[in-house]
Chain A
Amino acid sequence: MSEGYYLELSENPVQFENASSVNNVFFDEANKQVFAVRSGGATGVVVKGPEDKNSIAFRMDDKGEVKCIKFSLGNKILAVQRTPKTVDFINFIPDFPHLEFSHECKTKNSSVLGFCWTSWNEIVFITDQGIEFYQVLPEKRTLKILKSQSINVNWYIYCPETAVLVLSTTVQGNVLQPFAFKNGTMSKMTKFEIELPVAPKPAKIILSERDIAVATIYGQLYVMHLKHHTRSTNNSGAEVVLYHLLREGSCKKAHVLKLNTSGKFALNVVDNLVVVHHQSSRTSLIFDIKLKEPDCPVNIHQPVLPAQSIHPYKISVTGPVAATGQASVPCELYSSTWSVFQPDIIISASEGYLWYLHVKLHPTVNLLQDKGKLMDFLLHRSDCKMVILSVCSQMLVGGEKGNLPVVATVFDKLNQVYKEYLEAEQAYTLAVESGPSRFSNSYKRPIRSQAVIDQSDMYTHVFSAFTEKKDVSHKFIIAVLMEYIRSLNQFQITVQHYFYELVIKTLVQHNLFYMLHQFLQYHVLSDSKPLACLLLSLESTYPPAHQLSLDMLKRLSTANDEIVEVLLSKQQVLGALRFVRSVGGHDNVSARKFLDAARQTNDTMLFYTIFRFFEQRNFRLRGNPAFNPGEHCEEHVTYFKEVFGEQTLMKLPVV
C-alpha cells in the first residue's frame, strides 16, 4: 500500500493558527519556532515548536506591523522588527523587567533587512549596507556593538547550526560573502562567486534568494544553488550545484546534482540526503553525494531513486485533537502555499501545519535493484540497522542464480564499515591506555552508528534463522557462511567462534565431514578451546575429529592440561606422560592421576613404568622416592607391592 513512497511528512506536525488577514505567521529557523501574531501582537502571540509541546503565549502592544520576530537561543530575549530602521527587544528572562526597548541600526540611510540571533544575547543586524553585530544587555536595556562591516547586501541566508551568515553582494547578486560567528567574534570567510549561465545586460540582480540554500551534509557546510535550465545552454534540465564552504580557504564547487527536468523546485536536506521537490510534477528526488555514479565523472550525481511523491497525507477536518474515525481529507501536497526551510522543514501557512520531512528506508529496498548500491545508500542513513539486516535476510532467501557475488559484495560493504569502527575503537582504547597525555583530550570515544553491523547482529538477525531454513540447500548455506567468513578475514576482523560452530553444525548435519576436515586443515576455522572441545565431541561419529582436536589444542599452546586429559581418557598414559615431559610440566603433575589411569588399563607393565617414573621424580625433587601423603598414592603403593613385591620399590641409596 505504502510501497514506493520513500518520503513522508512527520505524523505529529506542529499545528498553529493558519495565516490570515488578522494572523501573521513567522518562522524562526534557529529555534524552529512558529510565531502566530494576531493583530500585531495585541490579541496575542503564540509561539510553537519545535515539538508542539512547549508553546509560549503572550501579548505585546501593537506598535505597527511586525516584519520579523525571533527569540534568542533559549527563549531569553524576544526581538521584533516593525520599522525599516529599528528592532525592538523584550526581556523574557525571569526576574527581569518585561519591558520593551528599541535599537536603531547605526549606519545612516540604511534599512534593516533582518536580524539573526547567534547566541542567547548576541544578535546580527543585516542592513542593505552591511552587518552590525551586537551584544544585548537586557539588564541595562541597551545594545553594545561588537563588530560591524559595511558591504552592499541584496539578501542574506543564515545557517543556525553552524552560525554562518551568507550575504549576497554585487549588482548581479552572485558573489556570496559568508561570515562565521562564535562567542562574540565575527570572522569574515572567503567570498566566492556562484556561476551563472548568462550575464544579463544591463547588469541586474539575477541570483535570487529562493535559489540558494545553506545546509550541512555529512558534517560539511554546503551552499546549494538551484541552477535553472536555460534554453541557450543545454537541454539537460536544471541542476543543483553544491559549493563546499570551508572555514578557512576558498570555497569550491563540489557536487552537481542532475535534476533532468525543469520548473519550480525546493530543497531540503534529510539524513544527509538532498531532497529536491519539483512542484509541477508533484514529485521529489533524492541525492546522496557520497554515492559514486559508475558512468559519471566524479561529483556529478543522478537521483538515487526514481522520482516519487511524498506519501499522501490526511488531515482531519476538525483539527489536531480529532479522535480517530472522524472525517479527514487528503492534504494537498506540493501546494503553492508551502514554504520549505532547511534542513527538513515544510510549512503550510495556509493550513497551519509544520512538518518534518522523513526518509523511509523500507520502500527503497525494492526500488534499488543493485544490492551493492542499495547497501552504499543504506549504510549512510542514520536509522538503517534493521533495514540492512532485513535486506541481508531477504537476499539469502531469494535464492536467485548468481546470488553469491552479490552476497559477497554486500558482506564486504558491511564489514568495511564494521572494520572502520573497530579501528577507531582500538585507537581510542590505545590513546586512553597510554595515560593522560596532552593528546588524550582530543580522542573522543568513537560513536557507533547504526551502520556498524557486527557479527552478533548478523548472527542473531540473519544467520541463525537462515541456517535453520529447510528449503535452502545446505550447499548454499555453507557457501554463504564461507563468504561471510572470507569477508571478515579480508578486513582482518577476528571471526567469532559461534560462526565456526554454525559452519561445523551445518556440515555435520549433512555428513560433510571431509569438507570440515579440509577447512580445519587450512585453518579456516580458527583455533580455540571451545572449537577443540566441539571437535572432540564429534569423535564418535567422525573419528579423525580426535586428531584435529588434539592438533588444535597443541597449536593453542595454552591447553596442555586439556591435551593430557584427552590422552588419559584414551588410556594413552605413556603418551600423556611423554607429552607433559616435553612441555616441561612433569614436576608438577599429579602422580595420582596418572597412576589411576595406568591402573585402569590393566596393563601391569605400564603401571610399573608410570610408578617408577614418579618414584624417580620424587627422588629427584625431594631426595626420597616415596610419595608424600598429600599425593594420596597409598592405594597405588599397596597395589605395586602386591604385584611386584615390596623389594621392588625404589630404595634410598645407601650413603
Chain B
Amino acid sequence: MFLIKGMPIRLLQGRTNELQTHSNADDQVLTDPRMASGMQEKQYTPSLLSFFIYNPKFGPREGEEEKKILFYHPCDVEKNEKIRNVGLCEAIVQFTRTFCPTKPAKSLHTQKNRQFFHEPEGNFWMVMVVRNPMVEKPSKDGKPPTIEYQEEEILDTVYGAVLQQCYSMYKLFNGTFIRAFEAGGVELLTQKLEKFFYRYIQTLHLQSCDLLDVFGGISFFPLDKMTYLKIQCFVNRVEESLNLVKYTAFLYNDQLIWSGLEQDDMRILYKYLTTSLFPRHTEPELAGRDSPLRPEVTGNLLHYGRFLTGPANLKDPDAKFRFPRIFVNTEDNYEELHLIVYKAMSAAVCFMVNASVELTREFCEQLDALVGPQLTLLASDICEQYNINKRISGPEKEPQFKFIYFNHMNLAEKSTIHMRKTASVSLTSVHPDLMKILGDINSDFARVDADEEIIVKAMTDYWVVGKKSDQRELYVILNQKNANLIEVNEEVKRLCATQFNNIFFLD
C-alpha cells in the first residue's frame, strides 16, 4: 500500500553517544542509547498512514457518525473503519480533556504509529497518523523477518507542526472551515477539503521533516541599507500608481526582503512560494534553450519580467487573467485577495489585489510595463550589491560551521545544514540522527522560559550545541576530532562573534 524507499543504514562504531552537558541553570542529561548491528537490515522511514478531518457536532446521534467525517485519507478505507478511527480519536481527546481542559491531547504514541491531533477551529479536528520508522531484520532459518518499531525516533514537535502547516496552507487558499460551511454547508466544505488535500497530502514528505518545520521560519535576504531602501521605494511607488495593489511582498533568491502582509500570513505564503511555486518555475528556467519546458520568450527585450501566476504570455490572445486567490487576516478583516507573482531574474514580487476586483488584460499589461523594467534594474542592482558585500565580508567564512538559527520574534531563519528546500526533497548535509538531536534540544528549550545552553557529544566526532537567548535559538553541529568541551564552547563563541555580532546574543 505504501511505497517505502529502502535506505542503507550507517554502521555505527560501538554504542557511543557519550553525553556531556553544559548548562547554565540546571544540569541536563540526555540519553540516546542506540543499537545497531552489522546485519542486512532494512530501515523504513516514517510515513503517512492516514489523515482525516472531522467535526463531532455534525453527527452527534448514533447511526449518523459518518456525517462527522469531512475528509478521510486514504479514501478507500472501509466506512466502519473510518468511523471507528474517528471515534477513537474523539474518545481520546474527550478523555484526556478531563485532566487538562485547556490543553487537549496533541498526540498519541503507540508502538506502531503516532497520532497527532489538532483543533484549528472550534470543533474541527485534524488528525494525522504517522507510522513509526522501523527496522526490518532478516532472521535466520527462513522465518519471516522481524520488525522493530523505533517509536522514539519521531518528534511530536516536528509532526505537530506539519499538521498545523497543513491547516495554514489550506486556509491560505480556501479560507477557514467555518466560512466554507456557512457559505455552502457541509457539501461545500467537503468539496473544498477534498480538492485541496487530495493533492496536498501527496506533497507531504514526512521522512524529511525536521526542526525547520517546527520553526516554519522565513529566510531573509541579507542586504545593505541603501539597496533595501531602493526596494522599499519601488514597492511604495508601484503601490501608489497601481492603487489596486493592497499588499506587496518582495523576494530575492527565494529569500524574503519585504512583506506588507502580517507575519503569520507571510509565513505560510513564504512556505508556499519557496516550496511549491518557485521550484515549479525554476526547472523551466534551468532547462536548455531548446527544451520544451522553457517558457516562450515574450519578445520583450526591455526587461525580463514575467508572471509566475496568471498569464504565462501576455501576447497570447487566449491568455487567461486568472490568479490564485488567497485568504489573509482571517482573524479580523478576513480578506480575500488575488495573488499575482511577478518575477524578473532572481527578484520576485507578490502583488495582492482585493479579490472583488476583476483583473483584466489592461491591468496586467500596465503592471508588466510599469514593474518589468524597474524590477529588472533592481534585480541587477541587488545582485551587484550582494556580490560586493560578499567580497567585502571575505571569502566564505561559513562552511566549517553547520548551524540553524531561528528568531521567534521575526521568524528569521538561517540554515547552513539544509542545502535545498523544495516540496519534494529537503536535502540536509547531516545525518538524520543529528537532526533528531537538534529536535530534542529544541523540545527541551520549549519547556523552560529561561536562556540556556546545551552541549551534546554525539556519535563519532560530532558535537551538537544548542543555545537559547531571549527569543533566539541557535543550533551548531561541529565535527572536530578530539575536541573537548572547552574547545567546543570557544568555537561556538567564535561563530557567534562572526555571524551574529550585530545582535544581542548572550554567551
Seen from chain A, the residues whose Cβ lies within 8 Å of a Cβ on chain B are: 401-405, 408, 475-476, 478-479, 482-483, 485-486, 489-490, 514-515, 517-518, 521-524, 544, 546-548, 550-551, 553-555, 563, 572, 574-575, 578-579, 582
Contact = CB atoms under 8 A, between A and B. Distances in A.
Contacts of A402: 240-241
A518 B412 contact: no
A551 B471 CA distance: 12
A486 B262 contact: no
Nearest to A488: B229
B58 interface: no
B504 A547 contact: yes
A523 B502 CA distance: 10
A518 B233 contact: no
B243 interface: yes
Nearest to A547: B409
Contacts of B451: 572, 575
Contacts of A546: 470
A514 B258 CA distance: 10
A582 B230 CA distance: 37
Contacts of B409: 517, 544, 547-548
Contact of B220 (A514, A521, A551, A574): A521
Nearest to A522: B228
A489 B225 contact: yes
Contact of B241 (A401, A482, A547, A551): A401
Closest 7 CB pairs of A and B: A479-B236, A486-B229, A550-B504, A544-B409, A554-B504, A522-B228, A404-B237
A488 to B, nearest CB: 9
B258 A524 contact: no
A404 B504 contact: no
Nearest to A542: B409
A440 B71 CA distance: 85
B236 A575 contact: no
Contacts of A482: 229, 232-233, 236
Nearest to A490: B226
Interface in B235-286: 236-237, 239-241, 243, 257-260, 262-263
**Overall SS of chain B's interface:** mixed
Nearest to A582: B507
Contacts of B262: 514
Contacts of A555: 502
Contacts of A554: 502-504
B29 interface: no
Given A515-B260, A524-B225, 9 more contacts: A401-B243, A479-B239, A486-B232, A514-B262, A521-B410, A522-B228, A546-B470, A574-B24, A575-B506
Given A404-B233, A547-B504, A475 B239 contact: yes
Contacts of B260: 515
B90 to A, nearest CB: 37
A553 B228 CA distance: 22
B223 interface: yes
Given A514-B262, A518-B259, A521-B412, A551 B504 contact: yes
Contact of A563 (B229, B230, B412, B504): B504
A455 to B, nearest CB: 16
Nearest to B246: A475
Contact of B258 (A408, A475, A518, A582): A518
Nearest to A555: B502
A7 B301 CA distance: 49
A489 B228 CA distance: 11
Contacts of B233: 404, 408, 479, 482-483, 486
Nearest to A485: B229
A547 B472 CA distance: 9
A404 B243 CA distance: 13
A483 B229 CA distance: 8
A475 B248 CA distance: 12
A547 B502 CA distance: 12
Contacts of A404: 233, 236-237, 240-241
Interface string B473-507: 00000000000000000000000000000111011
B333 to A, nearest CB: 13
B182 to A, nearest CB: 28
A489 B506 contact: no
Indicate the member of B24, B230, B259, B410 with the most A CB atoms within 10 Å: B410
Interface of B: 24, 220, 223, 225-226, 228-230, 232-233, 236-237, 239-241, 243, 257-260, 262-263, 407, 409-410, 412, 451, 470-472, 502-504, 506-507
Contacts of B502: 551, 554-555
A573 to B, nearest CB: 12
Given A402-B241, A575-B451, A524 B503 contact: no
A558 to B, nearest CB: 14
Nearest to A563: B504
Nearest to A553: B504
A155 to B, nearest CB: 58
23 contacts: A402-B240, A402-B241, A475-B236, A478-B236, A479-B236, A479-B237, A483-B236, A486-B229, A486-B230, A489-B225, A518-B410, A523-B225, A546-B470, A547-B409, A547-B504, A553-B504, A554-B502, A554-B503, A578-B506, A578-B507, A579-B506, A582-B506, A582-B507
B471 A547 contact: yes
Contacts of A483: 233, 236
A404 B241 CA distance: 9
A522 B237 contact: no
A403 B241 CA distance: 8
A388 B200 CA distance: 59
Contacts of B236: 404, 475, 478-479, 482-483
A544 B504 CA distance: 13
A514 B259 contact: yes
Indicate the member of A489, A522, A550, A553 with the most B CB atoms within 10 Å: A522
A553 B226 CA distance: 22
Contacts of B504: 547, 550-551, 553-554, 563
Contacts of A572: 451
A478 B504 CA distance: 28
Contacts of B240: 401-404, 476, 479
Indicate the member of B407, B472, B504 with the most A CB atoms within 10 Å: B504
B489 to A, nearest CB: 13
A338 B390 CA distance: 70
A524 B232 contact: yes
Nearest to B223: A522
Given A401-B243, A483-B236, A579-B506, A524 B229 contact: yes
A135 B295 CA distance: 88
Nearest to A523: B225
Nearest to B265: A514
Indicate the member of A478, A489, A582 with the most B CB atoms within 10 Å: A489
A402 B236 CA distance: 10
Contacts of B503: 551, 554
B469 to A, nearest CB: 8
A158 to B, nearest CB: 53
A615 B240 CA distance: 64
Contacts of A401: 240-241, 243
Nearest to B370: A402
A171 to B, nearest CB: 60
Contact of A405 (B220, B230, B237, B263): B237
A582 B223 CA distance: 29
B236 to A, nearest CB: 4
A45 B24 CA distance: 101
Indicate the member of A478, A547, A555 with the most B CB atoms within 10 Å: A547
Nearest to A546: B470
Nearest to B264: A514
Indicate the member of B230, B233, B258, B471 with the most A CB atoms within 10 Å: B233
Contact of B471 (A515, A544, A553): A544
Contacts of B258: 518
A553 B451 CA distance: 19
Contacts of B223: 522
Nearest to B241: A402
